[in-house]
Amino acid sequence: MALFRSLFRGRDDVYARRFVSSKTGNSGYAPACANEWVVDLCNKKTVKCAKCPNRRFRPLTDEVIRWHLSGQDDTGRPFVMGLYPMLLDERCFLLAADFDKKDWETDAEAFLATCRSHSLPAVLERSRSGGGGHVWLFFDEAIPAALARKLGSFLLTETMETRPDIGLDSYDRLFPNQDTLPQGGFGNLIALPLQKQARERGNSVFLDENFIPLPDQWAFLSGVGKIRSVEVEGIVREAEGKGRIVGVRVAQVEDEDEQPWTTPPSGRRRDPPVQGPLPDHLDLVLGNMIYIPQGGAVTKPAKPPRPAGRLSESGVLQESSDAAAHVRNPSHPLLRRRSSSSYRASPWVPGRGVRPSFGSENPPEPPRRAILRQVVVRFLSRGTPSRPEGCCPGHAGS
C-alpha cells in the first residue's frame, strides 16, 4: 500500500470512480461524492458536480486504494479508481504519456528510448483496454505541472526528431493535461494501474522490453527510480535555451543570458541547424491538412531523416507563431490525430465541433483553412535558407 501510494500520488482530498450507465452501457468517471444521489442534495440531471453547492467529495484513503487493487468496494460493487494528478497548488508528483491506436507499442518504445538517453527512469503500463499504454515518470517531490509538461513536450520533440519515420501517430496526451487548474475543476484524471479485473486480463500491468507483463509487479515497482526536481529544471532550462521544446510556450530570454546582444527582438533563438544532407525537393499535398508523402521524396534511410523530422515538428507541433498559433497546447484532450497509411498528416487539428481552450484573451477559433495558410514550410540549414525550386512564389522568405 505504501509503495503504491508513494508512486501514484495526486490529490488526496478527492478521487474519481468509474461508472457504467445501466441505460446506455457507456462508461466514464465522476468524482466520488458522499452526497451522490441523496434526495434534495444531488440532482446530476440539472446541476454539474463542479457547480453543485452540496458536493462533499470523498477523500483518497488506503481503503479506497485497497478497493481499486481488489476490484470491488466495501459493498461488493466493481470499483475502478481515477487519480487527479494535479494538486491544488498546480504541482504534480508524476507525468504520464498516453499512447493509443495500433502502433502504440512502437511509439511508446521510441519514447522510452528517449527517456533512457537522458537517464530518466520511465516505466510502461498497458492500459485497461489493452489497446494502448502509459509511460510513467515519477518525481521525488511535487513540481509545477507546467514544468513537468515542458519535460514531456521536450521528450516528445526529441523522439520525433530522432524517429520521424514513426510519426508518433498513437500519442494522445500528457497527464497532467493542463498547466493550470481549470476554474471549478480538477484537471484531467488518469486511471490507476493494477486494478484486479483488468489485471486478470493481462491489462493495466507493467511490461518488460518485449511487452510481456512482468512476473512480479510489486518487486518491479519497488525498484523504480524517481527524478529529482533539479534534474527536471536542468533539462528543461537547457532545452528551452536551444529551442527544443515545442507545443508549449517558448521561454523568453532571461537577464542572466551570457550573450544578450545576440538575442533577436522576439526573444527567441533560431532553431539549431539540421544535421545531415537536405533533400533536393519535398512534395507536399495541401488538402484539409498538409500531408507529407512517406514514399518517394521522403524515404526511410538507415540514418534518421532529420530534415523531414524537423519539418514535422515545425509544421505539426509548434504553437508559438505558425500554424497552431491559436491552439493552446498540442496535447489538449480535445485534439485528435488523423493520418492515412501512405501519408503522414499534420496531426494536430481540432476535433469536429470542438473549440480548444484559450488564454485570458480567448481569441476566436480560426477556420482550418486559415490555419493551413499560416503554415510556413522551411528548411533550416547551416547556411542562409533558400527557397527550393518549384516552391510557391507567394511564400517570401520561406
What secondary structure does DSSP assign to 74-128, as a single string?
TTS-B--EEE--S-TTSEEEEEEEEE-STTHHHHHHHHHHHHHHTT---EEEE-T
Q: For position 282, what pLDDT does the model report?
A: 76
Q: How far apart are CA 10 and CA 83, in angstroms?
A: 6
Structural domains of the chain ordered from first start: 2-229 (3.90.920.20), 273-351+368-388 (no CATH)
Q: For position 271, what pLDDT does the model report?
A: 58
Closest CA to 153 of 242, 254, 244, 241: 244
Contact 245, 320 (CB under 8 A): no
Q: For position 204, what pLDDT does the model report?
A: 96
Q: What is the pTM of this model?
A: 0.65
Q: For position 354, what pLDDT does the model report?
A: 38
Torsion, Cα 64 65 67 68, to 10 degrees, reads 120
Q: Hey, which residues does 293 pair with through a beta bridge?
A: 343
Closest CA to 346 of 272, 292, 276: 292
Neighbours of 294 (CB within 10 A): 19
List helix spans (H) across 313-355.
none
Judge residue 227's burial from the number of C-beta atoms within 10 Å of its C-beta, 0-12 exposed, 13-18 middle, 19 or more buried. Answer: buried
Q: For position 270, what pLDDT does the model report?
A: 57
Q: The C-alpha cell of 250 is what?
A: 517558448
Q: For position 283, what pLDDT does the model report?
A: 78
Q: For position 27, what pLDDT does the model report?
A: 86
Instruction: Note down pLDDT in tens along the chain; length 398 residues.
Output: 899 999 999 999 999 999 888 788 888 888 898 888 788 888 877 877 767 888 889 999 999 999 999 999 989 999 999 999 999 999 999 999 999 888 899 999 999 999 999 999 999 999 998 999 999 999 999 999 999 999 999 999 999 888 776 677 888 999 999 999 887 788 899 999 999 999 999 999 999 999 999 999 999 999 999 999 999 999 999 999 888 887 644 334 344 444 444 444 434 455 566 666 777 777 788 776 777 766 544 333 334 445 555 554 443 343 333 333 333 334 433 333 333 333 444 343 333 333 333 343 444 444 444 333 334 343 333 344 444 444 443 433 43
